[in-house]
């Protein structure tokens, strides 16, 4: 029987945690150097000597406050799961900054090992560390490692086992906070120890420090204690006292003291043989985050990213379609012609899977491009460059990347908001993200621009839609920041990691990790949605038709043209009489003020809730042109001919534009809603998003249509 151990890998983002995790467990997790890549903890098993070690890779964090999700995840794991040993991976190159997190583990009283990773870089740059001395000063074992070369792994494992076998806890290296603070901490500890439940779970000293730091999670926990009045009363008193003495918040002083402790220990034991500051990265940064050149370079790179993504994904998307068609034919011939099961398989299932797969090329390529930017270290600079601008909107530099990703697909974009530490910034970024025009809306634009605008202006019309989305997002962000999520914007405290040349393997793992989430999350929901839409638009299965199509079809045998015509008419009538059709009729009047009161359109828009591109296919069926995509000329012609009840033309360029505006802004697709639910952890925000975006869409489309009419742009 092997003995079981659980160890957790913690550390700042980019310290090499994932690399060490992969070394230890043989897994292939993504290695990247943009904060927030590892958002959920990952686990792997490793056998060493007679131990079976469960290794958990925690999200990278700079600290263990309650300010960000990552930090709470990491902290709760340590407190609740009580791993046998914690390994704090330190980027030796940025030693003091990285040790800050270590001080917090020390305070938690856990069995801690410091892995001084990137020791190669540190050595190369002339950093000389007296390991024994520093280890003694910090009161924790230190192992030098070079994760990329698998150096130091055995030493690390041996130390883990040594520490785990030593049953006693580490002798506490309490950080010296100075007499004044220490006194208050003792008072707090005394009161806190009255509550046995609390003390059993958390070290009292840690609790005391945390309440002084005004840690929201801990305070919340305390309010549930039966001694909460006593404790909070003392916290109030102590904080007040300390603020009087130091003229600053306890939180700030405590942080100062921790840094003081670190720099004290380091100055005793670390020598820099020559100035480390002027590294290559600094030199590159002189250009890339240059005040004048920074922004143009950044925009240029973004342009390249989008060129790369969209140009390369085009042929790939073609292949997906061809495969889908081939599968449809294959299964179609195997199943009884005209049966519900054939329709379910071809239109519902294969169509549904296709709707998911069609975005795979775009999403994966976009993520690949993003991975290059992240792994090279540029992404952190992008956030830095955009920070000033984003602050004007009331957001943080880090909000920029999720917004950018939104142009590909809002799902990964919303997931990427996890890197935003400030909750207010994070929520606002999530709420406005659906206005960023994702790839799925493009087919709808392509169809209508192609039908109602000349080739010459097509590009501008498209660009104006993207721009409108951005503008609305900015306006809404300002409004939310003003009324819903008040408070000052978080300062920019992101570390600029050194530049590195990304490895091919890392890039692909990164792309796969992110893309997989799309496949999994979106796959299931979009798929289910497609089957639902299929059901609504195909049932009742055999409505009473106005004509006896079956007989007519038999009579028309040999006349291909007539057969197609009849089949399309039949399909149209079937959908007209379906549940979706009745729904469309019911909601159409709502769109009258927008000039969009057309039941076929309503059915299409309804389908768009499942995935925006479904609008196109649905319109195809409803205009009796059979199978259709955005390039379909017959659908474009049918749209151009579509009439209103009074006989006038349904669409004009103005109506088409109002429609595109509406499609741009209205309710995000069901998958996005699902992700918002997941990321905000409540139904409140996804429901709110569904309603407010639709309201905004209605209002803006109203303004466009009515305004356009007033300006005499025709109906």
Q: Is 632 in a helix, a strand, or coil?
A: coil
Rounded to a whole number of angstroms, the minimum distance from the CB of residue 38 to Mg ion is: 4
Nearer to Mg ion, 18 or 693 (CB): 18
Rounded to a whole number of angstroms, the minimum distance from the CB of residue 188 to ligand GDP is: 34
Q: Which of 7, 10, 23, 33 is the binder for ligand GDP (CB under 6 A)?
A: 33
> Is beta strand 85-91 parallel, antiparallel or unpaired with respect to 112-117?
parallel
Rounded to a whole number of angstroms, the minimum distance from the CB of residue 217 to ligand GDP is: 23
Nearer to ligand GDP, 26 or 589 (CB): 26
Phi, psi torsion values for 11, nearest 5 degrees: 150, 165
User: Binding partner of residue 239 among ligand GDP, Mg ion, none, CB under 5 to 8 Å per kind?
Assistant: none
Q: How many whole angstroms separate alpha carbon 40 and alpha carbon 47? A: 23
Size of the site for ligand GDP (CB under 6 A): 22
Nearer to ligand GDP, 147 or 431 (CB): 147
Question: Of the listed pieces 48-56, 97-105, 143-151, 687-695, which binds ligand GDP according to CB under 6 A?
Answer: 143-151
Rounded to a whole number of angstroms, the minimum distance from the CB of residue 289 to Mg ion is: 24
How far are the Cα atoms of 281, 282, 283, 398, 498 from residue 286, in angstroms, in the given order? 9, 6, 5, 21, 13
Sheet holding 3-11, edge to edge: 42-48, 51-57, 3-11, 85-91, 112-117, 142-144
Q: How many whole angstroms separate alpha carbon 413 and alpha carbon 52? A: 38
Rounded to a whole number of angstroms, the minimum distance from the CB of residue 41 to Mg ion is: 11
Nearer to ligand GDP, 39 or 517 (CB): 39
Q: Is 90 in a helix, a strand, or coil?
A: strand
Residues 38-57 that bind Mg ion (CB under 5 A): 38
Instruction: Please count the other Cβ atoms lying within 10 Å of the Cβ belonging to residue 633.
Output: 11
**Residues 41 and 59: beta-carbon distance below 8 Å:** yes
Rounded to a whole number of angstroms, the minimum distance from the CB of residue 379 to ligand GDP is: 12
Instruction: Please count the other Cβ atoms lying within 10 Å of the Cβ belonging to residue 689.
Output: 23
Q: How many whole angstroms separate alpha carbon 654 and alpha carbon 64? A: 54
Q: With binding defined as CB under 6 A, does residue 394 bind ligand GDP?
A: no
Q: How many whole angstroms separate alpha carbon 168 and alpha carbon 164? A: 9
User: Binding partner of residue 498 among Mg ion, ligand GDP, none, CB under 5 to 8 Å per kind?
Assistant: none
Q: How many whole angstroms separate alpha carbon 599 and alpha carbon 585? A: 5
Rounded to a whole number of angstroms, the minimum distance from the CB of residue 498 to ligand GDP is: 9
Nearer to ligand GDP, 328 or 497 (CB): 497
Task: Indicate the helix (H) or strand (E) that contains 8.
Answer: strand 3-11
Q: With binding defined as CB under 5 A, does residue 61 bind Mg ion?
A: no
HSE of 606 in the Cβ direction (CA atoms, 13 Å)?
Answer: 24
Rounded to a whole number of angstroms, the minimum distance from the CB of residue 21 to ligand GDP is: 7
**Residues 606 and 662: beta-carbon distance below 8 Å:** no
Instruction: Please count the other Cβ atoms lying within 10 Å of the Cβ belonging to residue 208.
Output: 28
User: Binding partner of residue 146 among Mg ion, ligand GDP, none, CB under 5 to 8 Å per kind?
Assistant: ligand GDP
Q: With binding defined as CB under 6 A, does residue 11 bind ligand GDP?
A: yes
Question: Of the listed pieces 6-14, 169-177, 392-400, 623-631, which binds ligand GDP according to CB under 6 A?
Answer: 6-14
Nearer to ligand GDP, 58 or 185 (CB): 58
Rounded to a whole number of angstroms, the minimum distance from the CB of residue 616 to ligand GDP is: 40
Q: With binding defined as CB under 6 A, does residue 60 bind ligand GDP?
A: yes
Q: With binding defined as CB under 6 A, does residue 18 bind ligand GDP?
A: yes
Rounded to a whole number of angstroms, the minimum distance from the CB of residue 33 to ligand GDP is: 4
Which candidate, 596, 599, 608, 613, places its Cα nearest to that of 715? Answer: 596
Q: With binding defined as CB under 5 A, does residue 18 bind Mg ion?
A: yes
Instruction: Please count the other Cβ atoms lying within 10 Å of the Cβ belonging to residue 86.
Output: 26
State whether the Cα torsion 147-152-158-161 is positive or negative: negative
Q: How many whole angstroms separate alpha carbon 673 and alpha carbon 671? A: 5
Query: For the CA atoms of 604, 607, 612, 618, what is the dihedral angle to 10 degrees?
Result: -50
Q: How many whole angstroms separate alpha carbon 238 and alpha carbon 209? A: 11
Q: With binding defined as CB under 5 A, does residue 15 bind Mg ion?
A: no
Residues 479-518 that bind ligand GDP (CB under 6 A): 500
User: Binding partner of residue 11 among ligand GDP, Mg ion, none, CB under 5 to 8 Å per kind?
Assistant: ligand GDP
Rounded to a whole number of angstroms, the minimum distance from the CB of residue 92 to Mg ion is: 17
Q: Which residue has the tokens 């903890």?
A: 41
Return the structure tokens found at 347: 């239109």
Rounded to a whole number of angstroms, the minimum distance from the CB of residue 18 to Mg ion is: 3
Helices (H), 289-397: 294-334, 340-343, 351-357, 360-376, 378-393
Q: Is 113 in a helix, a strand, or coil?
A: strand
Measured from each CB, the residue nearest to Mg ion is: 18
Per-residue contact string for residues 667-696; x = within reach of ligand GDP by CB under 6 A: ------------------------------
Nearer to ligand GDP, 121 or 650 (CB): 121
Q: How many whole angstroms separate alpha carbon 19 and alpha carbon 22? A: 5
Residues 145-184 that bind ligand GDP (CB under 6 A): 146-148
Question: Of the listed pieces 102-110, 114-122, 175-183, 325-333, which binds ligand GDP according to CB under 6 A?
Answer: 114-122
Q: Is 114 in a helix, a strand, or coil?
A: strand
User: Binding partner of residue 406 among ligand GDP, Mg ion, none, CB under 5 to 8 Å per kind?
Assistant: none
Phi, psi torsion values for 96, nearest 5 degrees: -65, -40
Per-residue contact string for residues 117-136; x = within reach of ligand GDP by CB under 6 A: xx-xx---------------
Rounded to a whole number of angstroms, the minimum distance from the CB of residue 375 to ligand GDP is: 6
State whether the Cα torsion 533-534-535-541 is positive or negative: positive
Nearer to ligand GDP, 60 or 83 (CB): 60
Phi, psi torsion values for 203, nearest 5 degrees: -65, 135
| DSSP category for residue 147 | G
Residues 21-40 that bind Mg ion (CB under 5 A): 37-38
Nearer to ligand GDP, 148 or 249 (CB): 148
Question: Of the listed pieces 16-24, 97-105, 569-577, 704-712, which binds ligand GDP according to CB under 6 A?
Answer: 16-24
Nearer to ligand GDP, 6 or 148 (CB): 148
Q: What are 117's strand-pairing partners?
A: 91
Nearer to Mg ion, 38 or 578 (CB): 38
Q: Contact residues for Mg ion (CB under 5 A)?
A: 18, 37-38
Give the interface with ligand GDP as residue ranges (CB under 6 A).
11, 13-19, 31-33, 37-38, 60, 117-118, 120-121, 146-148, 500
């Amino acid at each position: 029987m092997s003995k079981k151990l659980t160890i957790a890998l913690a550390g700042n983002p980019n310290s090499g945690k994932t690399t060490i995790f992969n070394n230890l467990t043989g897994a292939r997790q993504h290695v990247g150097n943009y904060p927030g890549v590892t958002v959920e903890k990952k686990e792997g098993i490793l056998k060493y000597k007679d131990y079976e070690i469960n290794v958990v890779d925690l999200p990278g964090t700079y600290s263990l406050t309650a300010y960000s999700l990552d930090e709470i995840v990491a902290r709760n794991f340590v407190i609740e799961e009580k791993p046998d040993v914690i390994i704090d991976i330190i980027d030796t190159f940025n030693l003091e900054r990285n040790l800050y997190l270590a001080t917090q583990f020390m305070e938690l009283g856990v069995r801690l090992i410091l892995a001084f990773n990137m020791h190669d870089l540190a050595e190369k740059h002339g950093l000389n560390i007296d390991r024994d001395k520093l280890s003694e000063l910090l009161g924790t074992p230190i192992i030098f490692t070079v994760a990329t070369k698998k150096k130091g792994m055995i030493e690390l494992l041996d130390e883990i086992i040594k520490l785990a076998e030593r049953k006693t806890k580490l002798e506490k290296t309490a950080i010296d906070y100075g007499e004044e603070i220490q006194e208050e901490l003792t008072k707090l500890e005394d009161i806190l120890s009255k509550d046995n439940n609390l003390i059993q779970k958390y070290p009292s000293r840690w609790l005391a420090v945390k309440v002084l730091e005004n840690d929201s999670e801990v305070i919340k926990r305390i309010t549930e204690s039966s001694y909460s009045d006593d404790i909070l009363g003392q916290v109030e008193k102590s904080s007040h006292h300390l603020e009087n003495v130091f003229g600053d918040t306890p939180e700030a002083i405590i942080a100062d003291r921790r840094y003081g402790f670190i720099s004290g220990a380091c100055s005793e034991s670390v020598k820099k043989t020559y100035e480390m500051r002027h590294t290559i990265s600094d030199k590159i940064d002189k250009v890339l985050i240059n005040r004048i050149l920074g922004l143009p370079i950044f925009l240029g790179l973004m342009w390249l990213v989008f060129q790369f993504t969209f140009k390369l994904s085009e042929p790939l998307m073609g292949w997906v379609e061809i495969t889908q068609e081939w599968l449809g034919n294959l299964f179609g011939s195997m199943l009884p012609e005209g049966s519900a099961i054939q329709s379910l398989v071809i239109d519902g299932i294969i169509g549904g899977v296709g709707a998911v797969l069609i975005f795979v090329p775009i999403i994966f390529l976009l993520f690949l491009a993003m991975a290059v930017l992240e792994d090279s270290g540029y992404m952190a600079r992008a956030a830095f460059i955009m920070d000033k601008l984003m602050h004007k909107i009331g957001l943080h530099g880090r909000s920029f990347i999720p917004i950018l990703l939104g142009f590909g697909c809002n799902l990964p974009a919303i997931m990427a908001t996890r890197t935003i530490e400030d909750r207010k910034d994070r929520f606002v970024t999530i709420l406005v993200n659906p206005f960023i025009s994702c790839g799925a809306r493009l087919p709808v634009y392509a169809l209508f621009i192609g039908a109602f605008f000349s080739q010459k202006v097509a590009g501008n019309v498209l660009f104006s839609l993207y721009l409108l989305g951005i503008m609305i997002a900015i306006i809404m962000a300002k409004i939310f920041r003003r009324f819903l999520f008040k408070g000052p914007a978080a300062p920019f405290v992101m570390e600029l990691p050194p530049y590195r040349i990304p490895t091919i393997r890392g890039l692909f793992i990164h792309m796969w990790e992110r893309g997989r989430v799309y496949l999994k999350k979106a796959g299931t929901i979009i798929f289910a949605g497609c089957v639902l839409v299929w059901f609504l638009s195909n049932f009742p299965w055999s409505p009473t038709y106005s004509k006896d199509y079956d007989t007519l079809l038999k009579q028309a045998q040999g006349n291909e043209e007539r057969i197609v015509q009849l089949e399309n008419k039949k399909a149209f009538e079937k959908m007209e009489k379906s549940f979706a059709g009745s729904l469309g009729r019911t909601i159409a009047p709502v769109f009258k003020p927008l000039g969009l009161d057309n039941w076929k359109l309503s059915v299409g828009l309804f389908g768009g809730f499942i995935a925006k591109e479904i609008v196109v296919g649905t319109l195809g069926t409803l205009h009796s042109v059979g199978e259709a995509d955005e390039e379909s000329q017959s659908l474009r012609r049918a749209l151009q001919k579509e009439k209103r009840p009074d006989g006038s033309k349904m669409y004009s360029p103005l109506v088409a534009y109002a429609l595109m505006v509406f499609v741009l802004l209205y309710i995000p697709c069901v998958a996005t809603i699902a992700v918002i639910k997941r990321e905000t952890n409540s139904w409140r925000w996804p429901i709110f998003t569904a309603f407010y975006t639709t309201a905004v869409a209605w209002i803006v489309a109203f303004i466009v249509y009515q305004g356009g009419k007033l300006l005499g742009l025709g109906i």
